[in-house]
Amino acid sequence: MSISIPHENVAETDGATRNASAGGEPTGGVSRRSFLATGVAIGAGATLGPLERAKAAFGAPSSETLTSGDAAILRFRAAAEILESDLWQQYNELGGIQDSEVPGGSGSRRYTKALEELDEDMPQYIHDNTQDELSHFAFINAYLESRGAEPVNLDKFRELPSSKATGAQQIGRLTNLMELTVDTSWWTRYRSSTKNPDFGDKFAPAVPDLANGSFPAIPRSDDDLKPKKHIQAIANTAGFHFGTIEQGGTSNYPQLAQRVTDLEVLRVMLSFGGVETMHFQTWQDKAGNAPALTDPTNGLTFPNLKESSDEELKANLIMPEPTVFLRNSLPIVSIVRPTNTEGIAMGVVEFLTAMGLFKGQSKGFFDALKQLASEADAAKPRG
Ligand SMILES: [Fe+2]
């Protein structure tokens, strides 16, 4: 059974609250259910039709209707949060804590043990990150509806296979964690005092091998559970992948926030972005504990970052180093980086695609995701 929060359940929960406070079913001749049925047409854009129908259903005054740009930005983030939830769910099934908050799966003992080499609380952190992402997408979709805009539903693209390892649910997935090419350049990007990606600067990866080849971040089957260094390399890959995903959210919310027009939508962007940063900082710290080793099955090598003499690699330098920001004439400063906003939604799609996260996905999936991204990127910047 899928643990993803089904689109309709989210809406029903939201609708129950709304109905209780409003004292009954929405009026206006458009049922929530029939509106929601149209809401699955992702990428249809903030066309007047659905917005008008939503206003009729919910009685929202026009001043409370989102601009098409704000709605497109929120819809892109809803899609990103759905994708994050899908990948985190796979991690939780095998290496987290399976409970009523994040149900599904039954754990893989050897994989979990290997993750615990990075920190004994890894299963708890994986569980909590998963729960956070599930709440993020459920909230954004409910929020979109509450403001008369279409929610996002990617359920029809849940067609990728699950891991065959004991502990994983056998359900369709949106993301592929078994053939990843992980860019770990964020590690040196946040340790540099002279460079900023917004100035076009490039950064060396912490684990060069992860950027050259494709590697599983979860056991693909029980055959991956040994030898010990192999399953540890898989857990190490996950450890760095966690940081790679969450540094993306750390940048993406401030990037998109610069182009929203509504104060409450800005509040959503800022409040969510900070949590992605909290995730990133946790994972950056844990990745530094990944045991140095070489996987005997494929040669994937994790360097010893703990004892690195290079300041841009040293594991404990996890606080962002002050660096250049906006203009070279200004003093260096400790900041999230990058925060450029132009074309960034499509940039995220390209980044995740290059990572191998969508290997095996259909053309329809890529088309839908790119449409959501191009609509978000068309939203006008402030000022
Ligand atoms: Fe999130």
pLDDT digits (tens, 9 = 90+) for 323-360: 999 999 999 999 999 999 999 999 999 999 999 999 99
Amino acid at 159: E
41 pLDDT band (50/70/90 cuts)?
A: very low
Residue 295 CA to ligand 1 centre (angstroms): 31
Classified as helix, coil or strand, 233 is helix
pLDDT at 26: 37
Q: Does position 8 have pLDDT exceeding 90, yes or no?
A: no
Residue 23 CA to ligand 1 centre (angstroms): 32
Alpha-carbon span 23 to 317, nearest angstrom:
55
Alpha-carbon span 310 to 173, nearest angstrom:
40
Decide: 165 and 109 in contact? Cβ < 8 Å: no
User: Which among 277, 12, 265, 1 has a CA at the least distance from the CA of 132?
Assistant: 277
| Residue 325, C-beta contacts closer than 8 angstroms, at least 6 positions apart | 196, 198, 332, 333, 335, 337
Residue 255 CA to ligand 1 centre (angstroms): 14
Work out the percent of the chain whose per-residue pLDDT is above 90. 81
Q: Does position 59 have pLDDT exceeding 50, yes or no?
A: no
Alpha-carbon span 166 to 109, nearest angstrom:
9
Residue 253 CA to ligand 1 centre (angstroms): 9
Q: What is the mean pLDDT of the chain?
A: 88
pLDDT digits (tens, 9 = 90+) for 223-265: 999 999 999 999 999 999 999 999 999 999 999 999 999 999 9
Residue found under tokens 């995701």: 369
Residue 249 CA to ligand 1 centre (angstroms): 7
Q: What is the mean pLDDT of residues 71-92?
A: 98
- The 10 Å CB-count burial string (b at 16+, else e) for 247-274 is bbbbbbbbbbbbbbebeebeebbeebbe
Q: What is the mean pLDDT of residues 196-217?
A: 98
Q: Does position 21 have pLDDT exceeding 90, yes or no?
A: no
User: Rounded to two decimals, what is the model's pTM?
Assistant: 0.84
367 pLDDT band (50/70/90 cuts)?
A: very high
Residue 304 CA to ligand 1 centre (angstroms): 30
For residue 210, give the DSSP letter.
Answer: G
Helix spans in 96-151 (H): 109-115, 122-146
Query: What are the φ/ψ torsions at residue 13 (nearest 5 degrees)?
Result: -60, -45
List Cβ<8 Å contacts ≥24 apart for 339-342.
Answer: 339/198, 339/251, 339/254, 339/255, 339/258, 340/197, 340/198, 340/255, 341/255, 341/256, 341/258, 341/259, 341/381, 342/377, 342/381
Residue 12 CA to ligand 1 centre (angstroms): 22
Host H or E run for residue 278: helix 263-287
